Amino acid sequence: MADLDRVRVVLVNTTHPGNIGAAARAMKNMGLTRLYLVKPRDFPSDKARWRAASASDVIEQAVVVETLDEAIADCGLVIGTSARDRSIPWPLINPEECGRQVIGESSNHEVAIVFGREARGLKNEELQKCQFHVHIPTSHAYPSLNLAMAVQVISYEIRRAFLDDGQEAQTGEDSAAGPPDNSQESILSLGVEQRHWDQEFSTSEDLELFFEHLERALIKIDFHDPDNPRQLMTRLRRLFQRIRPDKMEMNILRGILTSIENKTGE
Ligand code: SAH
């Protein structure tokens, strides 16, 4: 069943505490309460609390962490927001699709939507930790929204998908039982039918450990030269983020890498 409590908003290196407060308010208006702050510049802050208005509880309960990896470690779906095109295209969805994807998958695992810095957005290495990117269609004359406004738009789409899913209409409660879950029908599955999947999806932490292992093994067999990396690891990251290996598949892949390492000796 769709579960808004399994959806977190992650703000990376936010500069202005007012934006944190405004983001908290935007979230609570739409029924989201779990806010993660990666190394905010100025927090806790009265300005944040003031801008949050009646969402100060979201601010009080915000989880402050040092790295993006910590904020998303246990998530089975991570979606990164982007105000502009990046050098390597990634699976890209629009806000409406994002809402449906988040609601569909919230019945299966923890979900994170990641927002970037006011001045510079998310770095490529951060965007590469995501399965999807979402872009809010804006005017080419001025494509980047204020951070909290972007949180508002995405939170609204999550709310719309949640309501379409019938949960609240039926019960009047965000987290109470609703009608049978048909949210998976609309999921952008990219080849994966999740409703009948027999295994849990890998988490962000599983994937990061796998990418480290993969890189070590590829260096060992001289396939990958860290001094001349080209886009190899980026392309491999995109491949596996797109495939979304489950935990069993991940164990097999890790086992293959270990065998390769053992065969090649010290
Ligand atoms: N100058 C930065 C813009 C940062 S705006 C850049 O070029 O990337 C701050 C954050 O708001 C972004 O990191 C993103 O999380 C969100 N945001 C702003 N505009 C957006 C848009 N059109 N689509 C999706 N997210 C957007």
pLDDT tens column, 15-26: 999 999 999 999
Question: Of the residues 16, 38, 86, 145, which should be mutated to test ligand 1's pocket, given the most ligand atoms within 8 Å of the CB?
Answer: 145
pLDDT digit string (tens) for 226-255?
Answer: 999 999 999 999 999 999 999 999 999 999
152 within domain boundaries: yes
Cα–ligand 1 centroid distance for 120 (angstroms): 8
Residue 211 lies in domain: 204-263
Whether 12 and 81 map to the same domain: the answer is yes
Quick one: pLDDT at residue 223? 97
Nearest atom (ligand 1) to Cα of 122: 13
- Claim to verify: residue 23 and residue 108 sit in the same structural domain: yes
Q: Are residues 230 and 140 in the same domain?
A: no
pLDDT 10s digits, 26-45: 999 999 999 999 999 999 99
What pLDDT score does 84 carry? 83
Q: What is the predicted pLDDT for the residue at 176? A: 46
Same domain? 104 vs 151? yes
- The residue among 197 and 82 whose pLDDT is bigger is 82
**Residue 214: per-residue pLDDT:** 98
Residues 212 and 101 in one domain: no
- Cα separation, 72 vs 131, whole angstroms: 12
User: Ligand 1 centroid vs 135 CA: distance in angstroms?
Assistant: 8
Domain co-membership, 17 together with 106 = yes
Query: In angstroms, what is the span from residue 92 Cα to ligand 1's centroid?
Result: 14
Q: Using one digit for the tens of pLDDT, what is the confidence trace for 130-140?
A: 999 999 999 99
Which CATH number characterizes residue 120's domain?
3.40.1280.10
Report the pLDDT value the prediction gives residue 185, as an integer from 0 to 100.
Answer: 42
Mean pLDDT of 106-110: 94
| 84 three-class SS | coil
- Give domain status of residue 17, yes or no: yes
Q: Are residues 139 and 24 in the same domain?
A: yes
Give the Å distance between the CA of 246 and the centre of ligand 1: 30
pLDDT for the residue 88: 83
pTM recorded for the entire structure: 0.91
pLDDT tens digit sequence for 60-81: 999 999 999 999 999 999 999 9
- The CA radius of gyration of the chain, in Å to the nearest whole number, is 19
Atom of ligand 1 nearest to the CA of 136: 23
Q: Give a yes or no: residue 32 inside a domain.
A: yes
Residue 217 Cα, ligand 1 centroid: separation in angstroms?
36
Query: For atom 11 of ligand 1, which residue has the closest CA?
Result: 147
CA angle 176, 179, 185 (to 5 degrees): 115
Residue that terminates a domain, selected from 177, 195, 218: 177
Residue from 126, 144, 151, 155 to probe ligand 1 pocket by mutation (most atoms less than 8 Å from CB): 144
CA of 211 to the centre of ligand 1 (A): 27
Decide if 188 is inside a domain: no
- The sheet with strand 63-65 has its strands ordered as 63-65, 34-38, 7-12, 110-115, 75-81, 132-134, 92-93
User: Number of C-alpha atoms within 13 angstroms, CB side, residue 101?
Assistant: 25
Q: Can you give the pLDDT at residue 71? A: 98
Residue 3: pLDDT band (50, 70, 90) is: very high
pLDDT in tens, 155-200: 999 999 999 998 554 544 454 444 444 444 434 444 344 556 889 9
CA distance to 125, 129, 201, 236, per residue, from 231 (Å): 12, 15, 26, 9
Same domain, 162 and 35: yes
pLDDT of residue 166: 80
Domain membership of residue 173 (yes or no) is yes
- Residues touching ligand 1 (Cβ under 6 Å) are 81-84, 115-116, 118, 120-122, 135-136, 138, 143-145, 147, 150
Q: Within a 13 Å sphere around the CA of 93, how many CA atoms are in the beta-carbon half?
A: 23
pLDDT confidence tier of residue 122, bands split at 50, 70 and 90: very high
Return the best residue to mutate from 82, 85, 93, 94 for the ligand 1 pocket (most ligand atoms within 8 A of CB). 82
Task: Give distance in angstroms: CA of 144 to centre of ligand 1.
Answer: 5
What percent of the chain is predicted at pLDDT more than 90? Answer: 85
What is the pLDDT averaged over residues 98-117? 96
Task: Supply the mean pLDDT for the chain.
Answer: 90
Question: How many domains does the chain divide into?
Answer: 2
Q: How far is the CA of 203 from the centre of ligand 1 (A)?
A: 25
Instruction: Evaluate whether residue 239 is within a structural domain.
Output: yes
Backbone angles phi, psi at 38, to 5 degrees: -90, 115
